[in-house]
């Protein structure tokens, strides 16, 4: 009942604001190379898809993002485990990781393109470097947050340290890991786009830049729209994964029931 009303309201609001945008641009005679009317953006989107240009670049950027995300997640997860389980690694390695993290990584992108070329590899590396940190920190915090009573229980059962890790710490860290993945996937997309800006032959980021040179602002708007939909889809993907992995977590359960 309420949900159908909310959907109607959302669509209505969207229509009104789009109409307002269209009207304002036409009424004030804003040049099309500054702000295009929504109708132009839709036309650009349609042309891009019909010509097969957008799907090709979309798939390319998606591939970069997913590969970079997987690489960064694997890196962040294993570093998180390493730092959480060894005082030495925490003492000797962690400060460098934090130093590296405080560097604006966008500034690294030109170097990475020099090292890894204009192709897929440099975007994947860039995405991975931007994405790994939140996952590492969350994995670390998650592994350390194991409840003291549960650890005592495992110890009282004469469990070994590996058993405590696999049966208690790791499953207990999963809610934190999933929250880290949530952030990491969007960061991976940003990393891939930045990489494309610096130097690329394919991808939505490269498309935006070449449109910028030809002053095709409606085209840029349409690609931006595409990027935000892509980000949303990646986010939804993680949400689905999260519900699968954390089926036992009452907070996840109640949230999905409420929807």
Partner 1 sequence: MAATAISVAGVAMRYAARGASVAALADMSFDVAEREFVAIVGPSGCGKSTLLKILAGLLPPTRGEARLRGTPIAGPRRDIGVVFQAPVLFPWRTVLDNVLLPVDVQGLPRDRHRRAALDLLALVGLEGFEQRYPWELSGGMQQRVSIIRALIHDPAMLLMDEPFGALDAMTRELMNLELQRIWLERKKTVLFITHSIPEAVFLADRVLVMTPRPGAIMDDVAVRLPRPRSLDAMSTSEFGGCVARIRARFNAQGGVDA
List residues binding partner 1 (CB under 8 A).
Answer: 147, 149-150, 152-159, 163, 167-168, 171, 174, 248-250
Minimal distance, residue 247 CB to partner 1, in Å = 8
Please, what is the Cα angle at 192 between 112 and 39, to 5 degrees? 140
Closer CB to partner 1, 47 or 243, in the complex: 243
Minimum distance of partner 1 from residue 254's CB (angstroms): 10
- Return the number of the residue (91 or 248) whose C-beta is nearest partner 1: 248
Smallest distance, Å, CB 160 to partner 1? 9
Smaller CB separation from partner 1, 177 or 206: 177
Q: Are 30 and 217 in contact (CB under 8 A)?
A: no
Nearer to partner 1, 17 or 163 (CB): 163
Residue placing its CB nearer to partner 1 in the complex, 26 or 253 = 253
Q: How many CB atoms lie within 10 A of CB 126?
A: 30
Nearest distance from residue 96's CB to partner 1, in Å?
31
Nearer CB in complex with partner 1: 27/156: 156
Closest approach, Cβ 172 to partner 1, in A, equals: 8
DSSP string, 25-54: HHHTT--TTTS--HHHHHHHHHHHHHTTHH
Query: What is the closest distance, in whole angstroms, from the C-beta atom of residue 39 to partner 1 in the complex?
Result: 52
Task: Report how far apart, in Å, the C-alpha atoms of 253 and of each of 174, 177, 242 are.
Answer: 15, 17, 10
CB of 9 to partner 1, least distance (A): 35
- Closer to partner 1 at the Cβ: 160 or 214? 160
């Amino acid at each position: 009942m309420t949900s159908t009303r909310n959907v109607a309201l959302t669509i209505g609001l969207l229509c009104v604001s789009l109409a307002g945008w269209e009207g304002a641009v036409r009424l004030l005679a804003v040049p099309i190379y500054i702000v295009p009317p929504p109708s132009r953006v839709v036309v650009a989107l349609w042309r891009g898809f019909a010509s097969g240009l957008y799907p090709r670049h979309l798939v390319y950027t998606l591939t970069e993002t997913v590969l970079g995300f997987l690489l960064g997640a694997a890196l962040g997860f294993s570093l998180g485990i390493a730092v959480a389980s060894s005082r030495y690694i925490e003492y000797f390695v962690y400060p460098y990781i934090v130093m590296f993290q405080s560097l604006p990584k966008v500034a690294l992108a030109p170097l990475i393109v020099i090292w890894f070329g204009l192709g897929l590899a440099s975007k994947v590396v860039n995405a991975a470097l931007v994405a790994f940190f939140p996952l590492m920190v969350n994995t670390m915090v998650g592994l350390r947050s194991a409840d003291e009573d549960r650890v005592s229980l495992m110890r009282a059962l004469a469990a070994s340290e590996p058993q405590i890790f696999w049966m208690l710490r790791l499953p207990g860290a999963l809610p934190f890991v999933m929250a880290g993945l949530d952030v990491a996937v969007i960061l991976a997309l940003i990393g891939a786009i930045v990489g494309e800006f610096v130097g690329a032959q394919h991808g939505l980021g490269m498309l935006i830049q070449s449109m910028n040179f030809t002053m095709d602002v409606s085209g840029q708007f349409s690609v931006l729209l595409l990027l935000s939909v892509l980000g949303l889809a990646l986010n939804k993907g993680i949400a689905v994964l999260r519900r699968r992995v954390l089926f036992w977590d009452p907070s996840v359960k109640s949230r999905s029931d409420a929807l």
